[in-house]
Amino acid sequence: MSDIETTTVCEDGYACTSQVGDFDLQIDATDETGPNPNAALVATYASCFIPAFRVGGSQRGEDDLGELQIDASADLDDEDDLASIAFDLHVEADLDDDTAAEIVERAEGICHVHSALKEELLADVTVHSDAF
pLDDT recorded at residue 2: 87
Give bridge partners of residue 23 from the DSSP assignment. Answer: 20
pTM over 0.85, yes/no: yes
Dihedral sign, CA of 57, 39, 27, 18?
A: negative
Q: Would you write out the chain's pLDDT as a tens digit for each of its 132 residues?
A: 789 899 999 999 999 999 999 999 999 999 999 999 999 999 999 999 999 999 999 999 999 999 999 999 999 999 999 999 999 999 999 999 999 999 999 999 999 999 999 888 888 999 999 998
Of 62, 42, 40, residue with least CA distance to 107: 62
What is the C-alpha separation between 88 and 69, in angstroms, rounded? 8
What is the C-alpha separation between 118 and 67, in angstroms, rounded? 29
Decide if 16 contacts 28 (C-beta within 8 A): yes
Domains present along the chain, CATH in parentheses: 1-34 (no CATH), 37-128 (3.30.300.20)
Of 128, 42, 58, residue with least CA distance to 89: 128
pLDDT recorded at residue 43: 96
pLDDT recorded at residue 122: 84
pLDDT recorded at residue 121: 83
